[in-house]
């Protein structure tokens, strides 16, 4: 739902000044990189790339989509160079880094059914594409094997996609539910600090 709110701000020109954009972009980009660096811990591979992407939401709202996309590109480049967990950085680059930015545009679609179909299509194409790249560079699918369960490879892929789709829907709803908190608590603080 923040798509409608942020686009209305775009039309009004109610934004921070350029120097504030740079400072805010640097702060939230650094926060995203720091979160991705924490993927060295077990189970963080899947939990932290979505959180790293969520740090770009304030940039969409306060600075606009172009600034947020530039921050996504910068974080992706830095992640490629310094983040040790290859799966986490591919998850961020392939989907979670840009999704909070395009979510705003997708929520302008008139039909809720078409909106969700488009979101799920983007997620599934990104998931399949991201893991195809991982396999192409030598990532082993043995990492997906669950001890004691003997499923063929296509079964693991199907199970992985089904679980991923469920988690994605929860993630999308979570991002939307975070927005009222952002507008009521964090936006006033950010605007006080960065508006000159």
For 27-39, the pLDDT digits (tens) are 999 999 999 999 9
What whole-number distance in Å separates Cα of residue 53 and Cα of residue 63?
16
Domain locations in the chain as residue ranges: 2-194
**Model confidence at 6: pLDDT above 60:** no
Residue showing tokens 């998931």 = 127
**Angle, alpha carbons 102-194-27 (nearest 5°):** 55
Contact 33, 80 (CB under 8 A): no
CATH T-level fold of 2-194:
Arp2/3 complex 21 kDa subunit ARPC3 (1.10.1760)
Residue 194 CB neighbours (<10 A): 17
For 158-185, the pLDDT digits (tens) are 777 888 899 999 999 999 999 899 888 8
């Amino acid at each position: 739902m923040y798509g409608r709110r942020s686009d209305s701000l775009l039309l009004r020109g109610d934004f921070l000044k350029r120097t504030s954009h740079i400072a805010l972009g640097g702060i939230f980009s650094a926060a995203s990189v720091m979160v991705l660096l924490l993927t060295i811990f077990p189970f963080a591979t899947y939990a932290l790339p979505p959180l790293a992407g969520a740090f770009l939401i304030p940039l969409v709202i306060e600075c606009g989509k172009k600034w947020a996309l530039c921050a996504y590109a910068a974080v992706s480049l830095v992640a490629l160079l310094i983040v040790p967990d290859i799966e986490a950085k591919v998850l961020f680059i392939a989907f979670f880094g840009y999704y909070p930015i395009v979510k705003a545009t997708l929520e302008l679609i008139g039909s809720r059914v078409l909106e969700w179909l488009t979101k799920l299509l983007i997620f599934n194409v990104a998931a399949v594409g991201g893991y195809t790249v991982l396999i192409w560079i030598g990532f082993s699918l043995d990492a997906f094997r669950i001890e004691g369960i003997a499923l063929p490879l296509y079964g693991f892929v199907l199970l992985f996609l089904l679980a991923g789709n469920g988690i994605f829907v929860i993630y999308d709803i979570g991002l939307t539910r975070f927005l009222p908190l952002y507008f009521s608590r964090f936006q006033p603080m950010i605007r006080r600090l960065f508006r000159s």
